[in-house]
């Protein structure tokens, strides 16, 4: 069986208690070719956490295609007065690449995200360094609503509906419980109430596998994709370059940030570094390997995952073992 090593690895993680449950799937441009669940059902929904980021990024990239935004659009276009007395300008390119320079609040902050965005002040000059920012996606949401008239989740639903990825939504009523959320310091009720555009979606493995197949088809001559080939190429173009990389994504992790995509182009543990995607706080993973022609998804529900090596899983999938 192709990918047997990868599925066996995830099965062991569940059987030995490192993961409470898991759904693993692999897709090509033609569709899903392998899918199984362990301690779960393949159709179960999970909180996606930061996989939400590139899903919102796709909506923003479509607005770029339509001429409604550019990478240079200032956040002040959607939030008048945002820059105030600042001598610098926060632009879309900073928001999508973790170079915005605004410190993140906790995931379960009770303060409205728009208030957090406009009151936390500058951590560093935008573009001067890279520090992971979930709050920046509230700025992307503001620009989307200002230019398209759609809330960020409606903008995601617009393109995901085209793929039949109908499980992606802010509704967590039937989503898996994060078994150690309290231990890891997150109040899930407050988190869900925030409807965070950088972390708030839930979904199924099938939804992300449909997306992975669609992304692999872009540029193959098929018409009617969710993005134009040049747009996907723009999203995969590194923005962070050689600027300082601050915790937790330091330079030694071997990655750049593109237009919301995590580009693991120098990751020392990977067989295939032609890869883009994103992970999520409770163990969710979504990665696309264009040269290998595959995309893969892991959904699980534990924030603290000692002994789970995702590079090993990626390598087993890429090799087809």
Q: What confidence category does residue 1 fall into, taking pLDDT thresholds of 50, 70 and 90?
A: confident
Phi-psi category of residue 115: left, alpha or beta, with phi > 0 → left and psi -120 to 50 → alpha: alpha
- Which 3 state secondary structure label does DSSP give 22? strand
Q: What integer best gives the mean pLDDT of the chain?
A: 96
The distance of Cα 78 from the centroid of its chain, to the nearest Å, equals 23
What is the per-residue pLDDT across 145-179, written as a single tens digit (0 to 9) for each?
999 999 999 999 999 999 999 999 999 999 999 99
Contact 174, 94 (CB under 8 A): no
Q: What is the mean pLDDT of residues 60-84?
A: 95
The pLDDT value recorded for residue 87 is 81
Q: Which domains does the chain have, with CATH numbers?
A: 4-319 (3.40.710.10)
Q: Is 36 exposed, middle or buried (0-12, 13-18, 19+ CB in 10 A)?
A: middle
The pLDDT value recorded for residue 86 is 77
Q: What confidence category does residue 121 fall into, taking pLDDT thresholds of 50, 70 and 90?
A: confident
What is the per-residue pLDDT across 273-302, written as a single tens digit (0 to 9) for each?
999 999 999 999 999 999 999 999 999 999
From 27-41, 218-232, 262-276, 295-309, the region with the lowest mean pLDDT: 218-232
What is the per-residue pLDDT across 129-151, written as a single tens digit (0 to 9) for each?
999 999 999 999 999 999 999 99
The pLDDT value recorded for residue 60 is 98
Q: What confidence category does residue 226 fall into, taking pLDDT thresholds of 50, 70 and 90?
A: very high
The pLDDT value recorded for residue 33 is 97
Contact 138, 186 (CB under 8 A): no
Structure tokens at 244: 């300082």
Contact 97, 243 (CB under 8 A): no
The pLDDT value recorded for residue 50 is 98
The pLDDT value recorded for residue 56 is 98
Q: Say whether pTM exceeds 0.85.
A: yes
Residues 6+ apart with CB under 8 A from 24: 6, 7, 10, 34, 35, 36, 37, 38, 205, 296, 297, 298, 299
From 76-85, 244-253, 294-303, the region with the lowest mean pLDDT: 76-85
Contact 203, 209 (CB under 8 A): no
From 1-10, 51-60, 274-283, the region with the lowest mean pLDDT: 1-10
Q: What percent of the chain has pLDDT over 70?
A: 100
Res 221 pLDDT > 90: no
Res 231 pLDDT > 90: yes
Q: Directed axis angle between helix 52-65 and helix 136-148, to 10°?
A: 40
Residues 208 and 51: their CA atoms lie apart, in Å, by 9
User: What stretches of the chain show up as alpha helix (H) in DSSP?
Assistant: 4-15, 52-65, 92-96, 113-119, 136-148, 152-163, 188-194, 205-217, 229-235, 310-319
What is the per-residue pLDDT across 22-55, written as a single tens digit (0 to 9) for each?
999 999 999 999 999 999 999 999 999 999 999 9
Question: CA-based angle 88:276:228, to the nearest 5?
Answer: 80
Give the residue carrying structure tokens 């728009």. 114
The pLDDT value recorded for residue 224 is 76
The pLDDT value recorded for residue 321 is 87
Residues 115 and 191: their CA atoms lie apart, in Å, by 15
- Which 3 state secondary structure label does DSSP give 91? strand
Q: What is the mean pLDDT of residues 91-117?
A: 96
- Which 3 state secondary structure label does DSSP give 296? strand
């Amino acid at each position: 069986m192709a990918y047997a090593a990868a599925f066996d690895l995830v099965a062991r993680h569940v059987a030995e208690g490192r993961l409470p449950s898991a759904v693993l799937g692999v897709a090509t441009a033609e569709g899903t070719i392998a899918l199984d669940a362990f301690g779960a059902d393949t159709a179960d929904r999970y909180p996606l956490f930061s996989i939400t980021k590139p899903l919102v990024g796709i909506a923003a990239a479509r607005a770029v295609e339509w001429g409604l935004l550019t990478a240079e659009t200032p956040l002040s276009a959607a939030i008048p007065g945002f820059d105030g007395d600042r001598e610098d300008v926060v632009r879309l390119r900073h928001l999508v690449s973790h170079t915005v320079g605004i410190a993140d609040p906790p995931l379960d902050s009770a303060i409205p995200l728009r208030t957090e965005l406009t009151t936390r002040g500058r951590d560093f000059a935008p573009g001067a360094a890279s520090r992971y920012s979930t709050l920046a996606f509230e700025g992307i949401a503001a620009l989307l609503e200002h230019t398209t008239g759609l809330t960020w989740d409606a903008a995601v639903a617009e393109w995901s509906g085209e793929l039949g990825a109908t499980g992606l939504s802010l509704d967590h009523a039937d989503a898996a419980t994060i078994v150690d959320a309290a231990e890891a310091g997150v109040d899930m009720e407050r988190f869900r109430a925030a409807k965070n555009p950088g972390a708030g979606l839930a979904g199924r493995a099938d939804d992300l596998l449909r997306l992975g197949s669609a992304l692999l088809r872009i540029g193959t001559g098929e018409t009617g994709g969710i993005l134009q080939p040049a747009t996907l190429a723009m999203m995969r173009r590194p923005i962070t370059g050689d600027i300082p990389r601050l915790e937790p994504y330091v330079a030694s992790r071997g990655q750049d940030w593109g237009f919301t995509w995590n580009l693991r182009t120098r990751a020392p543990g990977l067989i295939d570094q032609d890869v883009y995607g994103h992970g999520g706080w409770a163990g969710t993973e979504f990665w696309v390997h264009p040269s290998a022609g595959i995309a893969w998804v892991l959904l699980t529900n534990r924030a603290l995952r000692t002994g789970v090596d995702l590079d090993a899983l990626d390598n087993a999938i890429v090799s087809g073992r």
